[in-house]
Copies of this chain bind each other. A is one copy, B any other.
């Protein structure tokens, strides 16, 4: 059975929502190890049968991540990572400081041999299924060869979560022609053309939702801007449409139906619902959930991590990089 360690102290709504999410995930067959303060977690997990691994420290959002991981060996995220490193867990999930989770993955779990830079892959909703965007924030500045590796890593994620056998990989750029973009994109285009993935060329920001590729490769600065812009625009459009709909007297009569439809959509598009982001290039499965994660988001992130472990995501990355 797949076992996932959860940093139960990480996140704005921890530990109430992290424990509740773990209980939900456990019902779907994921074995969750709750890592955190025994006194805080015990009562919340009472009767759930979930195993608690005590952690006496917590890393908060304002600490320097690398330093915190070095100094706080007993922080919940450090111990969650250690459970992965020593084989007690198949992966870990944290909704705490992203920097701390990245540092724990780097220093405790370790980087796969041959990986220049681990990167964060996020699965976006798109017209048909989802699109993997990599990197959405781990590496603010990268080299062309990093982008070439992100392609391989992103393809492994697309195979794992979207069931694609030869995922279409594209480079995020400001135009389709290979002469477009910064020196970074021009050089990466050449490497991607020669690389092992099914490279389909450059795509623009508007192509993401239209699903012209399964994997979109970019640096962590641009990817982060893209991720958050898409979130903001989706939320704005939903709100604007709701106000348009409710401005119509006829539609006011069916208000409850409209509200229900908008809620269904919001859930579909909300990052909480489509799960956490994967740190790829690490020796274990690492899923980073939103800081604001509710129990639903935590349960989804745990299931995502379990699915990654079940399908051998890490081995897929290794195979991809060797291929």
Contact = CB atoms under 8 A, between A and B. Distances in A.
B241 A261 contact: yes
A268 interface: yes
A66 interface: no
B232 A210 contact: yes
Contacts of A221: 174, 181-182, 222
Judged by DSSP, the binding face of A is helix
A194 interface: no
Given A206-B229, A224-B174, A258 B265 contact: no
Contacts of A227: 205
A238 B232 CA distance: 14
Nearest to A240: B265
A141 interface: yes
Interface stretch (A76-84, A243-251, A307-315): A243-251
Contact of A209 (B204, B208, B235): B235
A232 B261 contact: no
Interface in A256-288: 257-258, 260-262, 264-265, 268-269
A183 to B, nearest CB: 8
A230 interface: yes
A295 to B, nearest CB: 23
Nearest to A247: B261
A1 interface: no
A126 interface: yes
Interface of A: 125-127, 137, 140-141, 172, 174, 181-183, 204-210, 218, 220-222, 224-241, 244-245, 247-248, 250-251, 254, 257-258, 260-262, 264-265, 268-269
Given A181-B221, A205-B225, A207-B228, 10 more contacts: A126-B236, A140-B174, A174-B224, A210-B232, A234-B236, A234-B237, A238-B241, A241-B241, A244-B262, A244-B264
